[in-house]
Structure 1
Amino acid sequence: MSKKLEGNGLWESSRMMLPEHKERINLYNEQRKKKKKPQLVEEEVGMISQRLSDSMLDGAEITIELFNENGKNQFATGIVSKMDSALRRIKLQFYNDDYEWIQFDIIVDVK
């Protein structure tokens, strides 16, 4: 058996790596780390919608868990001031009179 095929296989004799190869390996590793959004069952979607509408009607503060594919999920706390069903998003009002539009598709949970 030749030395080239021992140990680490074909790569054993190759000590050089092109920048293109390194870039592709890094991209592959990043894609492997990405999480997939959990699929919510109809009951969970109904509960989330109910909590969002309760916040809008009662002015109650809620914490929304937002999906993030690159790591840990993010959390946003505030009061729902508007729901736009045509664009499938909500307007979350914060204490400092700032707000953020949040897409329904990235909401994982509401507490």
Structure 2
Amino acid sequence: MSKKLQGNGLFESSRMMLFEHRDALIARQQQPHPASYTSRRGLDEQHREEIAARLGAALSHGSPIRLTVADYPDNRIIEGIITRYDAAGRRIRLNDEHWVRLENIIDMEE
């Protein structure tokens, strides 16, 4: 049996990466995380539960809200009324225009 067919089969000898791909991978690993990434990860569980409760109240009452949403490279503010709630996708829809994932919400004002 040839050495090429041992171990991982035919693909054992074909593991390679182009220089351009390697350089792009190294450059991506050296980039700092965006501010929005670190700010949304820094939320404690109590703050997340408070936002979820306030979102539920705004949905049931149809009241307008103002969300601060983590977005690359900066945070953005979206205002409107919650028109849909997707529990499976863990997201809400504002003004039938914007889908917002719940884990990206940093703050909420009513």
Is the shorter-chain TM-score for this pair beyond 0.5, marking a shared fold? yes
Structure 2 match to 1:73? 75
Which of 101, 104, 107 in structure 1 is aligned with 2:102? 104
Q: How many equivalent pairs are there?
A: 82
* Cα deviation 1:75-105 (Å, max 9, x = unaligned): 0000111211111100111xxxx52111112
Taking a change above 3 Å as real, the CA distance of residues 32 and 78 of structure 1, as seen in their structure-2 partners, is same
Amino acid at match of 1:106: N
5+ residue gaps in structure 1? Answer: 1-19
5+ residue gaps in structure 2? Answer: 1-19
More helix per residue = 2
Identity fraction in percent = 27
TM-score (norm 1): 0.62
CA distance in 2, matches of 1:50, 1:91: 16
Amino acid at match of 1:77: E
Q: Which has the larger radius of gyration?
A: 1
Structure 2 match to 1:52? 55
